[in-house]
Amino acid sequence: MDLGSLFGFLGTWVLIAWALLASGNITYYIDIPSVILVLGGTSTIIFFAQPAGTVKRTFSSIKKVFFHQSSSIQKLIEDMVSYAEIARRDGILSLENTTKDIDDPFIVRGIQMAVDGTDPELIEAILNSELDNIAARHDNYKQVLDGVAKYAPAFGMIGTLVGLVVMLQNMDDPSKIGPGMAVAILTTLYGAVIANALAIPLSDRLARRNAEEVLVKTIIIKGVMAIQSGDNPRIVEQKLTTFLPPSMRKVEEEDKAA
């Protein structure tokens, strides 16, 4: 579980709830027709704008925001170097037994193709194609959340305009102007909260997860290609550590020196 994401999400909604409760009467902020308009309108227009299957899978992917363990880049590089050492010492065919203990199917697929003697260009093309498809799927999920962030405030504004029309129809009764204005503004509030405290942060977090996965799979591709070409394990390590930020490279070098 990603405690940082959970803390940020819960903390944001706790602060919003505290602000509403601090006003003295939380019922001021509850208007069922406004809720139905904003939530219902945003939901239906999303299904209109995006394929239903993509929308459903997006909500399934959201769990990765809270229940996703980021891969250790250093550990991945160490593993790829160890595979290179095995291939260098015992031959690339010896890696076939090693794949039984590898959990990542992407690594297994790459090494297996190398063991089978698949053309290097074809290996790279297949792995890059799979990587592109993964990135495209994640981008589709992000588009759904970006749509929620875009449409929720829009429906909030529609609700506000509807409320203003109703309020203006009752201008002859001054006692109804204040409550009418309050209800009209509520839909804008709902739209803003959904966009800024839910959809946009989730979209940004999914984008971050996508970037992490793309980086991991890029390292795997580079490692597999280096192993397939018979590179010295030290060269493989040097190639892959270029993906680490300078500060992490320095720490890794110090650990080896020690």
* Residue 26: half-sphere exposure toward Cβ, Cα within 13 Å: 7
Distance CA 104, CA 123 (A): 17
Q: Give, in order, the Cα–Cα distances in Å from 99 to each of 103, 108, 141.
A: 8, 6, 31
- Closest residue by Cα to residue 73 from 173, 217, 200: 217
pTM over 0.95: no
The helix-helix angle for 200-228 and 120-169 (nearest 10°) equals 180
pLDDT for the residue 110: 94
pLDDT tens figures, 179-202: 778 778 999 999 999 999 999 999
Q: Are 99 and 112 in contact (CB under 8 A)?
A: yes
Contacts of 124 (CB under 8 A, 6+ apart): 221, 225
- In the predicted model, residues of the chain with pLDDT beneath 70 are 1-2, 68-69, 247-258
Residue-wise over 165-181: b if at least 16 C-beta within 10 A, else e?
eebeeeeeeeeeeeebe
pLDDT tens figures, 88-110: 998 989 898 888 888 889 999 99
HEC profile for 155-214? HHHHHHHHHHHHHHHCCCCHHHHHHHHHHHHHHHHHHHHHHHHHHHHHHHHHHHHHHHHH
pLDDT for the residue 182: 79
pLDDT for the residue 249: 62
Contacts of 254 (CB under 8 A, 6+ apart): none
Give start and end residues of each alpha helix (H) in the chain: 3-22, 32-35, 41-49, 52-61, 63-66, 73-90, 95-98, 105-115, 120-169, 177-194, 200-228, 233-241, 246-257
pLDDT for the residue 27: 85
